[in-house]
Amino acid sequence: MADHKETAFSGIILVSSCILFYMTTAFPHPEALKGEFQADFWPRMILLGLIGISSFLLIKSLKKNSAAKSQPAVSETAVNEIIRKRPILAGLITFLYLILLDIIGFPILTPIFIFFFLFNMGLRNLRMLVLIPPIITASVFFVFVKLMFVLLPRGTWIFREVSILLY
């Protein structure tokens, strides 16, 4: 039953993304300066990514559904308990991140958030836990601040001073 939910969810995301992509054709195209993106560029890039990923997941879940029909279901209660607790803890970690984001700021809090999120999701390789958070944070920071000129939360008090050093 859960496999059918995954298929339905992937299908809904795919159809919604295609509709939204079509809606971006109505965005105005004012005279842009040379080298600047039009208003529809980033929404289209994000939607193309969603279309690609949801198509992949839809095909994968359809293959999984056809393969699952031929195999009997296996009961794994201990594994299911762990799998049920991880999303709840991931939601709590994300909620805490959103609350603290304006106080601590993006550049300081995001690597910490990514570290705990990855650890919660089962990554135990210390090298990856140390390398991945700063790389992702720097990449997102570069794209939003340097390419798109979108300011990310800097934090307050001493955190703001540290964040300003990075801008």
pTM score of the predicted model: 0.57
Residues 167, 153: contact at Cβ < 8 Å? no
Query: How far is 141 from 146, CA to CA, in rounded Å?
Result: 7
Query: Quick one: 20 and 97 in the same domain?
Result: no
Q: Which of 134, 154, 158 is nearest to 145 (CA)?
A: 154
d(CA 66, CA 64) in angstroms, rounded, equals 5
| Numbers of helices and strands, H then E, in the chain | 6, 0
Q: DSSP state, 69? A: T
- In the structure encoding, which two tokens stand for residue 66, read together? 């056809």
Residues 122, 160, single domain; the answer is yes
Q: Of 33, 49, 73, which one is at a domain's C-terminal end? A: 73
Span 68-120, pLDDT tens digits: 666 555 455 655 666 678 888 888 999 999 999 888 888 889 999 999 999 98
pLDDT given at position 41? 80
CB 96 within 8 A of CB 117: no
According to the model, what pLDDT value does residue 30 have?
67
Looking at residue 137, what is its pLDDT? 92
Percentage of the chain surpassing pLDDT 90?
22
The DSSP output letter for 36 is P
Residue 119 structural domain: 78-167
* Same-domain pairing of 113 and 134: yes
| DSSP one-letter code for 39 | T
Q: Are residues 59 and 12 in the same domain?
A: yes
State whether 98 and 66 are in the same domain.
Answer: no
